[in-house]
Amino acid sequence: MVLISREQCEHQIAMLQRAIHYCTHAKSSFDPTVDLNAEPTETYPGASGYALSAMKNTVCALESHMLYS
């Protein structure tokens, strides 16, 4: 059995939920209604970059907890 702190689980869940939100609401970089000063995560490249980072972070956290158990 692998034990992970509640705080760590909540952090990983929050990151993944944020990534889901960004990907769900992302717009094309070529969309003329996209504000050029908008947050990078409002377009597909930024949303997918955040999602990739969140997934890598979650995998790393889970692997590190497996090493210590």
Q: What is the pLDDT of residue 68?
A: 78
Percentage of the chain with pLDDT > 70?
Answer: 99
Answer positive or negative: Cα dihedral of 65, 41, 48, 25.
positive
Quote the CA–CA distance of 25 and 20 in Å, as a whole number.
9
Is the pLDDT score of 69 beyond 80? Answer: no
Is the pLDDT score of 18 beyond 80? Answer: yes
Q: Is the pTM of this model over 0.75?
A: yes
- Categorize the per-residue pLDDT at 43 as very low, low, confident or very high, splitting at 50, 70 and 90: very high
Name the CA dihedral angle for 20, 58, 40, 31, rounded to a multiple of 10 degrees: -40
Listed in sequence order, the residues at least 6 apart from 43 whose beta carbon sits closer than 8 Å to its beta carbon are 26, 27, 28, 29, 31, 34
